[in-house]
Amino acid sequence: MVLFQKNLHCGTGLPSSDTPLKVITSTALPCCETRVSAVGITIEDIVYVVDSGQIKITTYDPSNNTSTLAPVLVSKANATQRRGRAGRVREGKCFHLFSNFSYTEVMLDFLPPEITRTRLEDVILRIKALKLGPVTTFLSGCLDPPDLETILRTLRFLRDIQALKPLPPPAQLNTSLSSSSSIPVNQLSRMSKRQRDRVMTSAIEAGKAAVATDSVSTVEEDNDVLTPLGHHLANLPLDPQCAKLLILGALFCCLQPALVVAACLSFKDPFEIPLGQEATADAKRREFAEDSQSDHWAFFTALRYPSTVSGVNILMNQSFSTVQEFRQLGHNDRWSFCRENFLNYNTMQSLSPILTKRWIAITLITVQIGGARRKDLLRLMQDFVGLLYERRYIKSEDMDDPQSNLYSHDVRIFRAIIAGAFYPNFVMASAKKSKSGGVFYRSSAAAEKIALHPKSVNNGIKPDTNIWFAFFEKIKLQHNAASTLFDTTMLNVRPIVFFSSKLDHVKVSPSISRTQQDSLLGDTDYLKVDGWITLRSSPRIPQLVESLKQCLDRLLNDKVRNPGPTNWDTSTLEGQIMQTIVDYFLNEAPPIFHSPTFLQQQAHQRRGGFGRGDYGRGRGNYGRARVNRGFVGGGRGIGPAVKAFADIPFPPPPPHPPPFP
């Protein structure tokens, strides 16, 4: 008998239906079941079950703000459920690969509730929106309350993305302490010992209360309120960072990329990685990413240039205007098309026939949410457009509206909104080598180990200077392992500086000597971003950036309170501010780094020769490459110093931006 591989529901790819895995003589068919199938599918004639006793669950580690997806022991309830898979139609057997001691003494009765092992951004935002009182007090009433450290970490994260704003503590908190300590000394001297002891006891009790109040105020939980942006994030049924991405995409008229990225990140990576074809799938992903060095831009490329996707030419050349016509292809042709482009065949069968050929590439790459009915990305994106239109961020429900997509095809603006939406999720790739000889990655937590997943388009780059990436989520696949970044986008320096929450101007001691090669500006001033990103800059840069950020903050507050499409008319204050910010992002040169894969395709065939002029000097298969070569400006533009920083034609912003009428 020949055993065929059938992927009933998974993201490991689409092997051919006629590819035999192994020849067996028995009539029994083994079935490898994942956790998804445990709740999404039932095979009635299973007779033997082998239970490994392990399960992968997502847990949140508040100490380093990382999600962990590592195997743990199943609960007793899970073991009972797995045993129930055998013997549905006749007597069966279940083999548990764990000891009786583990079952009776180690295993929990049930797995911990999700609220105790996941992040709480959505929960806290809704508690604040509904005005249900202090977060810790409200969540302490849960049957299984979450850990206090998780709550505090989530509160700090929501402040970082400007969703929560702490208010100053009330003045009456220290009233008792100040009243007891304001007794004159001569009056104390006339008191009896009992009276003085009573006063001192009251002062001590007031001091303890003040200390307790200070410990609460350091958390600032009782005094946190939603910002105008936080109100809208709480009303959007999305992760706060994805919701912020949609708002920034509408504000900067970069709507389509924001919709695509938010739709993909809200569910799962749309790309498939077939077993045994990892290298080919990675190459296809890099083809989608073009020269942007962004996994998120790769999601959008399928929509932007459907004719460049291998296999979509079949549809375009044969004038297939709908997916329904694609269904008229033969079974083998359809399988070949999906296999060549790493698309899900089952999803293709369920697509709506009303989609036009412009959206073929994006609707082919769809996602399946657990065992639920499949939803294509186009429908999800249209839902997001409806949410933005209801809140008047855009003037039309048409996602192709030209006014909402003025900068949809500019990767520099795309990087900027990614930086603003995913802040503070930044990681630095250092120019210095790690102990193993690879790239050294560093985040705000200096002691944390970070690695890029092999499927990322930024995996394997060799930076000439420190470069930064934005990521959506970091996950540990094993306990005590490095945090893995699955999707990243390379950033320019200016969006990092602009969307950060804290800028410190540091004056370097003149005793520190630097060569002309070390400094492009020759100054002794540094810019400290959020306490861990250090950049050399001219002294006037912090003041200019802060003034521009104040203008944007006033604009955002006005936009959130009174939503409306962005007005780009430079005769208005709003148009001047937005155009200045866009020019600030557009006038920066991209990072410089070594990309072996990129140079292997673009460098001259002769070893030691020169490649094309817009790619710089090539040395064989290795050389210098510039990200986004069409947008290269003057100077290096990245690294410790930005030469073009001081050359931007800033209009003089007012020191205190006037209120909008």
**DSSP symbols for 194-252:** HHHHHHHHHHHHHHHHHHHHHHHHHHT-TTEEE-HHHHHHHHSSS-HHHHHHHHHHHHT
- The pLDDT score that the predictor gives to residue 133 is 86
One-letter amino acid at 400 equals D
CA 168 to chain centre: 31
Whether the link from the prior residue into 424 is cis, omega within 30° of 0, is yes
- Over the Cα atoms of the chain, what is R_g? 29
Q: Is the pLDDT of residue 489 over 90?
A: yes
pLDDT recorded at residue 598: 45
- Biggest CA-to-CA distance, the chain: 105
Is 147 in a helix, a strand, or coil? Answer: coil
Q: What tens digit of pLDDT does each residue of 133-167 get? A: 889 889 988 888 998 888 888 888 898 888 888 87
- Which of 199-203, 276-280, 390-394, 526-530 is the least confident region? 199-203
Please give the Cα distance from 121 to 217 (Å, whole number): 20
The predicted structure's pLDDT at residue 258: 92
Among 79-93, 316-330, 551-565, which stretch is predicted with the lowest mean pLDDT? Answer: 316-330
H-only helix segments in 42-174:
76-83, 100-101, 121-129, 135-139, 148-160
Q: Going from the N-terminus, what domains does the chain have, and what CATH number goes with each?
A: 31-111 (3.40.50.300), 121-230 (no CATH), 240-407 (no CATH), 416-647 (no CATH)
Q: What is the C-alpha to C-alpha distance for residues 172 and 180, in angstroms, rounded to an integer?
A: 13
Tell me the angle at which helices 228-235 and 541-561 cross, rounded to the nearest 10 degrees. Answer: 50
The whole-number average pLDDT for the span 346-352 is: 42
Q: Are strands 48-51 and 503-507 parallel, antiparallel or unpaired?
A: unpaired
* Cα dihedral 89→94→100→105 (10° resolution): -60
Quick one: pLDDT at residue 245? 93
**Cα angle 598, 421, 655; round to 5:** 115
Q: What is the pLDDT of residues 368-427, one digit of tens each?
A: 222 232 345 667 777 888 888 888 888 888 888 888 999 998 999 999 999 999 988 898
Averaged pLDDT for residues 519-544: 69
Q: Is the full-model pTM beyond 0.85?
A: no
What is the rounded distance in angstroms from the CA atom of residue 543 to the CA atom of residue 552?
14
- 297 or 208: whose pLDDT is higher? 297
CA distance 547 to 553: 10
Q: Residue 346 burial by CB count (10 A; 0-12/13-18/19+): exposed, middle or buried?
A: middle
Mean pLDDT of the 528-541 span:
78
The secondary structure of 152-174 as a DSSP string is HHHHHHHHHTTSEEEPPPPGGGG
Instruction: Compute the distance between CA of residue 334 and CA of residue 345 in angstroms, rounded to an integer.
Output: 8
Question: Which positions ≥6 away from 400 have C-beta within 8 Å?
Answer: 256
- Lowest average pLDDT, out of 209-213, 236-240, 543-547, 621-625, goes to 621-625
402: left (phi over 0), alpha (psi -120 to 50) or beta: alpha
pLDDT bracket for residue 470 (50, 70, 90):
very high
pLDDT digits (tens, 9 = 90+) for 539-555: 777 778 888 888 887 88
pLDDT (average), residues 77-82: 87
Residue 139: closest CA among 117, 116, 161: 116
265 C-beta neighbours (distance < 10 Å), count: 21
Name the average pLDDT for the chain: 69
Q: What is the pLDDT of residue 630?
A: 29
pLDDT tens digits, one per residue of 14-63: 444 444 444 445 566 677 766 655 555 667 778 888 988 988 888 877 66
The rounded distance, in Å, linking the Cα atoms of 391 and 233 is: 11
Q: Both tokens of residue 39?
A: 């709740």
Sign, CA dihedral 215-219-220-225, equals: negative
Task: Answer yes or no: is pLDDT of 450 > 80.
Answer: yes
What CA–CA distance (Å, rounded) separates 379 from 364?
12
Instruction: Report how far residue 568's alpha carbon sits from residue 572's, in angstroms, rounded to the nearest whole number.
Output: 8
In this predicted model, what pLDDT tens digit does every residue of 648-658 receive, in sequence order?
333 343 343 33
* Cβ atoms of residues 329 and 345 within 8 Å: no
Question: Model confidence over 25-38: pLDDT tens digits?
Answer: 556 667 776 665 55
- CA 312 to chain CA centroid, Å, is 29
Per cent of the chain over pLDDT 90 is 11
pLDDT average, residue stretch 561-590: 87
Helix spans in 252-370 (H): 255-266, 278-289, 295-304, 312-317, 323-326, 331-341, 345-349, 360-364
162-173: per-residue pLDDT in tens? 888 887 655 444
* Helix, strand, coil % over all residues of the chain, rounded to 5: 40, 15, 45
- Among 214-228, 278-292, 419-433, which stretch is predicted with the lowest mean pLDDT? 214-228
Q: Which of 202-206, 237-241, 418-422 has the lowest mean pLDDT?
A: 202-206
Residue 626's Cα: distance from chain center in Å? 24
Task: Please check the confidence at residue 222 and state whether its pLDDT lies above 70.
Answer: no
The tally of CA atoms less than 13 A away on the side-chain side of residue 597 is 18
Q: CA–CA distance from 343 to each of 36, 318, 362, 417 (Å)?
A: 20, 20, 11, 28
∠ Cα 591 576 498 (to 5°): 35
- The pLDDT score that the predictor gives to residue 62 is 65
For β-strands 93-96 and 426-433, DSSP reports them as unpaired
Q: Give residue for tokens 């180990």.
A: 449
CB 454 within 8 Å of CB 282: yes
